[in-house]
Amino acid sequence: MIEPISVYFEHCEPNWNVPIAKSNNHILLLVTEGSLQYTIEDKTFHLHKGDILFVPQGVVRSASNSTKEGHDMYVAHFRYSGEGEHLPLLSDLLFRYAHPFNFDYLKQRFSLLSQHWLRKSAYMNTICHSMLLEILAITNEESDSPFFPSKQYGLVMQLQNYILEHYHVTIHVSELSAFVERTPNYVSMVFKQATGQTITEY
């Protein structure tokens, strides 16, 4: 079971820092604006808008941002007791970094997660467990995925949004390729590489 300890949105001014210390809980953070430097043991990450980082409980960590600009991020502190939920991230307890393909979706999920945490409803623990598990699974999947160029991801996101907006009518690959100004073969290939599905299957 994932037990949330705190979930919040943080606007961090320039010169923000976290002193070197062991993490008391697992930490999951999503950078929504700006950039920061985060060090876990002897590994330093330069995090930017759209990056997500999992910090396991008990590791030595520190963080800081620039003296010129701040950053914004969603942060979830939690404890976990269980068998790993079939996620290497939870069973191995190693730090994980990813630049997720669908940043807007994760940002929305974190926003909703923080709202449920603040609301403290009777079902808060169950809802927060489910939402954190989903975000952790996406983080695990994204950190395991091979690198895929961001321009191509952007193109695939355009295609997915177009399909969702026009789901009620028949859409042909030629229409999609005209929309993004690429050849039908290129559109089909990139979509399959990024999503694991053909456009028809999607």
| CATH for 2-144 (3.50.50.60, 3.40.50.10330, 3.40.50.11540, 2.60.120.280) | 2.60.120.280
Residues 47, 3: Cα–Cα separation, whole Å: 26
The per-residue pLDDT for 103 is 87
Tell me, rounded to whole angstroms, the distance of Cα 70 from its chain centroid: 20
- Sign of CA pseudo-dihedral 136, 48, 4, 132: negative
For residue 153, what pLDDT is reported? 67
Tens place of pLDDT for every residue, the chain, 202 residues?
899 999 999 999 999 999 999 999 999 999 999 999 999 998 898 999 999 999 999 999 999 998 788 999 999 999 998 776 788 888 888 888 888 878 889 999 999 999 999 999 899 989 999 999 999 998 888 777 655 555 676 778 788 888 888 888 888 999 998 988 889 998 888 888 777 778 888 7
Per-residue b or e along 167-179, where b marks 16 or more CB atoms closer than 10 Å to that residue's CB: eeeebebeebbee
Name the DSSP class of 25.
S
Helices and strands, counts by H and E, the chain: 6, 8
